[in-house]
Amino acid sequence: MANSSSSKPVLTAAHWGPMLVETDGERVLSSRGALESRHLNSLQTAVPDQVHSKTRVRYPMARKGFLASPDKPQGVRGQDEYVRISWDEALRLIDTQHRRIRESAGPSAIFAGSYGWRSNGVFHKAATLLQRYMSLAGGYTGHSGDYSTGAAQVIMPYVLGGNEVYQQQTSWPLVLEHSDVVVLWSANPLNTLKIAWNASDEQGIGWFEKLKRSGKRLICIDPMRSETVDFFGDSMEWLAPHMGTDVALMLGIAHTLVENDWHDRAFLAACTHGYAIFADYLTGASDGVAKDAAWAAPICGIPESTIRELAQLFSQNRTLLMGGWGMQRQQYGEQKHWMLVTLAAMLGQIGTPGGGFGLSYHFANGGNPTRRAAVLASMQGSVKDGTDAVEKIPVARIVEALENPGGEYQHNGQQKRFPDIRFVWWAGGANFTHHQDTNRLIRAWQKPELVVISECFWTAAARHADIVLPITTSFERNDLTMTGDYSNQHLVPMKQVVAPQGEARNDFDVFAELSERWEAGGMARFTEGKDEMAWLETFYTIAGERGAAQGVTLPPFAEFWEANQLIEMPESEKNARFVRFAAFREDPQGNPLSTPSGKIEIYSERIAAFGYADCPPHPSWIAPDEWHGSAEPGQLELLSSHPAHRLHSQLNYAHLREQYAVAGREPLTLNPEDARARGIENGDVVRVWNDRGQVLAGAVVTDGIRPGTVCLHQGAWPDLDRDNGGVCKNGAVNVLTRDVPTSRLSNGCAANSSLVWMEKYRGPALTVTAFDPPASA
């Protein structure tokens, strides 16, 4: 039940942290953060927009061409009109076509492997519930990896024995105590720490504020002067290399270490494997090309003297390399993080307090010490008597799978075949803003026989569906969550704020009913006889059992739920002194890594055996196909970084848009040199294009980006105007980005390896319509 106007604010949470939401019982009036913070998070104000947006999907809808012939749909997805249908009709159509496709083509023909940035909460996880339903029906094709860290999470197990990008970091108290130099390499924590996969514990920016006041030497390496650099002001140096050249820069630093005997020979001998082979490549003994600072400078655009200074600085001080993820979302992205780890190994500080490297200080507040916590259980992995995914495809290769059913491809050392996907159900994500080369995706999206989208909003994915199901936002249902993907700092009730809008239903209820339609007793199998609150009490009870082992006692569930308050978990002195890889460093033989050698693998025999030219067996510089070095005169490198006032594509429709939109559309950041050369002034509408598509954006002219590079933040909703050459009126960057795998090893997303042309727009005035629902809706 929603609260009355006389009651206290409702406590809930989202990816951007715990929130207090004011309601009159029917409408959301306002929202704000529930934790005390000096750093206001704009996303926490957007709950009214989420619940009451004109962009909401209010009723089940179906595409006209699909309704005319469900077995053989007519029309074109993305161009057809929609018709309102009843929930009963929608579920009947889905059930009928699901049966037909599963019986004729088997479970591998059904793709239910999407993940997206589903609503946080341990129960109402859209993709998990979809996969639970499909598992109980007999299996499905799923996905492996993600768009965020596709390259790094595959290469790191070969190098370090674990994926590393989603691991707790050396604790912040030790960084502040021991680090002398901190380098933010391709990381913008002021933006990315606003969110977490669960709910943000909101502590990360506070730690960076302490770092700002610490007097340490602080460096940011990024083609764009980010919000983080502005936050640090004069206390941080900004170095802007050419996009895609981080490996060359690191090699130049590494070679300088060797030249001056500044590398840690003892650490390399005791804790690494294969350094000698890499050293032959570094010095040019194996290929005749010394990767020294003079070689690196013209590639990366950083002066030779600066490269040498960095080598000296890093080697003579306790240095922590905080690596971000943007640089591995490039062609050959595996090399970036492998080389970062190799550079840290050569400095010999891995496993020391405040030294080495870390790959998640910029995400979910890594380094905020882990609490002694009562950790909630979740619906994840809770399927009983069901079949999991029958096969998986790399998540960033979905378009290739649709284009080339049965086609062979290599992945992580294995020869595989793409399944013949006939039925796509996407829940909890927006793949039309996630995936590269939007026009290629639209063409491939015509291939399946059935596309179902479960959505709160009329996203581009919903506009390319056969059936669209209206789903509740997390503020129209009850759930539980933890804050801090690494810290587990708080346990938070996510209480329902208002009733479901329109005819929106919870994913859980949708899949429970479909399970019953699938077979008698299917609902009981799916729900296990529990409703929403019973499941939440189950997860809370398990948390209590886990907490007891940590000396943490939870109140009874009914008391906790009624209290409308979060529970903060106690601090752990031990965890506040956590040093990543400390045990390994102290005794490499007694505490080996999960690699074949038990050590940090600078050279990998396993990768060598795969014979991949696009992923050599040690870190290497390989020039991308599209980069500064291959650009034609007038072409620019395209950066697609994380936006400040939304989570990927979430909230693009919200009032927060007023804080960043230029000329009513997505802002494009460009250097004054590039603006002058094209007659562009601040605030102008610009056209940006390549052979993949074209977009309109609003010009932001600033010296805070390297000349030759432009930035369109990712996540703008596609708004293609078929009457005007298919131009995207809203500036969706993936209309322009190149859809190629990082390599055959990981098949990760390589969005940041794209070239574009740009000019001042002089065509007809075009109004953004991305957030207007279809006329029939």
What's 682-741 look like in SS3? CCCEEEEEECCEEEEEEEEECCCECCCEEEECCCCCCCEEHHHCCEECCCCHHHCCCCCE
Residue 699 in tokens: 């010009």
- Cα distances from 56 to residues 120, 125, 495, 596, 774, in angstroms, run 19, 19, 21, 51, 11
CB of 706 within 8 A of CB of 696? Answer: no
d(CA 249, CA 368): 30
d(CA 86, CA 89): 5
Contacts of 574 (CB under 8 A, 6+ apart): none
CB of 144 within 8 A of CB of 152? Answer: no
d(CA 583, CA 573): 18
Residue 520 in tokens: 């008698």
Q: What residue type is 7 in one-letter code?
A: S
CA 254 to chain centroid, in Å, comes to: 30
Q: How many CB atoms are closer than 10 A to CB 9?
A: 18
d(CA 159, CA 344): 13
Q: Is 477 annotated as belonging to a binding site? A: yes
Contacts of 294 (CB under 8 A, 6+ apart): 304
d(CA 523, CA 521): 5
Where does residue 172 fall: left (phi above 0), alpha (psi -120 to 50 degrees), or beta otherwise?
Answer: alpha
Residue 101 in tokens: 């496709």
CA angle 497, 500, 506 (to 5 degrees): 105
Known catalytic residue: 518? Answer: no
CB of 47 within 8 A of CB of 528? Answer: no
d(CA 271, CA 578): 20
Tell me the sheet residues that pair with 467: 62, 452
d(CA 74, CA 126): 29
Q: Is 117 annotated as belonging to a binding site? A: yes
CB of 119 within 8 A of CB of 473? Answer: yes
Residue 240 in tokens: 């802007």
Q: Is 329 annotated as belonging to a binding site? A: yes
Known catalytic residue: 115? Answer: yes
Contacts of 26 (CB under 8 A, 6+ apart): 2, 498, 499
The two beta strands, 61-63 and 82-84, are: antiparallel
Which among 59, 82, 115, 238 is annotated as catalytic? 115
- DSSP characters over 377-391: P-STT---S----SE
Q: What residue type is 702 in one-letter code?
A: T
CB of 163 within 8 A of CB of 153? Answer: yes
Backbone angles phi, psi at 246, to 5 degrees: -60, -35
- Cα distances from 276 to residues 285, 288, 606, 607, 621, in angstroms, run 11, 16, 17, 17, 17
Contacts of 529 (CB under 8 A, 6+ apart): none
Q: Is 744 annotated as belonging to a binding site? A: no
Which among 87, 117, 197, 757 is annotated as catalytic? 117
- Give me the active site residues, please: 115, 117
Q: Which residues belong to the annotated binding site?
A: 117, 329, 434, 477, 507, 734
